[in-house]
Chain A
């Protein structure tokens, strides 16, 4: 077994906190402002890790394990992806369900932690977060359906690996549609602009930021890191779809992944600069549109 899956996993874990920074910086640049440093999140994480944790009196264990589960599930989900283009650390038939389930579990733990505080504000955020995920998850499965149909493989490592490189040229239209759907999904899952605004704190419009209001210190650091990692995971999915790297040497594949992730973050920043946040009742429409793209992808393959 080559060391490359481990190396690329470490690389993705190390690079992930830079991605929101790149996105925010791009957005600031395009709207005529300077913006925070790209590496700001690393500093925030370092600061938070040095701090103490403050717990509200009304919270229970559920609140404390929430961030841990969120981070753990995100990292385990990362091991399922073939980040070096060849193999994943963990791979079994049907692990795409595990991937979706892990992300869902992380979200569930965070929502429970939010509800556990007893704050009505966080309860509202929790309800919104769950609403978004209820629309997002079917879309994720539709995207996976396209991949399964295109490659005939049932594991993430298989369908993003050599089989994909073989059928890539034939199925490019479907895959391109799926990549766009996944990009839209990434915006929803990582609470970026048309769905949620990471820049607005303490406003009634926000979704994801609300449920983490009571977290502090290292636990907040875990949540922030998990959120950045999720963006990196979706980025890796999109990059793997558009650029199958199974036939390339692992170092080159890792470099392409790195470039792709940066491009993805820049893309998120461009979307954020060019769109306003959607109204809450328009959110389902955004995700239904993503689903429609994936369905067209499926239809093109079934033809």
Chain B
């Protein structure tokens, strides 16, 4: 059987493309929620033994990445009344194409990185691709909330990378990281909310204009 974790990782790549291709913020947030759920299932699929470490990681990830953050982000778009990304720096077709190039690149790079043998051959390339796609979303979209989604995806990539070493990284460190992200997203959400208040829009390009 081509294992469950390979399918999960494939799902992670697909949700990345979903975020790249969608114009609606709510749809992008749903994609990250699904990605969070997939990431939560990943440690369980990778290490079938039911150790406390793994279960804690899965439950914590599920809570933070699949439930708390998406709920919070949906609250933010409701409050700020933004629905869609209008004109990203790189068009949607363009960013999808860029996404495929990035995926190809990361598969190429992953073979050359000398890393200790991990559980799944897909783990490293998918992690690299997710980080880079997160970077694309973060840098090419104008709406502050989409940039937050990009940050979240970038972080998810780092999480997948960490999973390849899950046996060696202490549990507490990972929980700390999760908490960090949560606080980070929370602050970003509030900043976004204030940008929206001050400028009547969430367009971050407005922040470059000088005002008295």
Contacts and interface: CB of A to CB of B under 8 A. Distances in A.
Interface stretch (A117-125, A202-210, A282-290): A282-290
Nearest to B21: A289
Contacts of B99: 292
A176 B103 CA distance: 17
Contacts of A285: 21, 92-93, 96
12 contacts: A172-B7, A173-B2, A173-B6, A173-B7, A173-B10, A289-B96, A292-B99, A295-B100, A296-B103, A299-B104, A300-B10, A302-B107
Interface in A145-194: 169-173, 176-177
Interface of B: 1-2, 6-7, 10, 13-14, 17, 21, 92-93, 96-97, 99-100, 103-104, 107, 111, 121-122, 125
A170 B96 CA distance: 27
Contacts of A172: 2, 7
B107 A303 contact: yes
A140 interface: no
Contacts of B125: 303
A296 B20 CA distance: 14
Report, nearest first, the 10 A-B pairs whose CB atoms are least far apart: A295-B100, A288-B93, A172-B2, A285-B93, A292-B100, A173-B10, A292-B96, A289-B21, A285-B92, A288-B96
B104 A295 contact: yes
A282 B21 CA distance: 10
A300 B106 CA distance: 11
Task: Determine the interface band of chain A, counting residues with CB < 8 A from chain B.
Answer: 20 to 34
A291 B7 CA distance: 19
Nearest to B101: A295
B83 to A, nearest CB: 14
B82 to A, nearest CB: 19
Contact of A296 (B6, B7, B93, B100): B100
A296 B97 CA distance: 11
A74 interface: no
B104 A288 contact: no
Given A173-B2, A173-B7, A292 B104 contact: no
A293 interface: yes
A293 B17 contact: yes
Nearest to A180: B14
A194 to B, nearest CB: 12
A299 B97 contact: no
B107 A292 contact: no
Given A169-B1, A172-B7, 15 more contacts: A170-B2, A176-B10, A285-B96, A288-B93, A288-B97, A289-B21, A292-B96, A292-B97, A292-B99, A293-B17, A295-B104, A296-B10, A296-B100, A300-B107, A303-B125
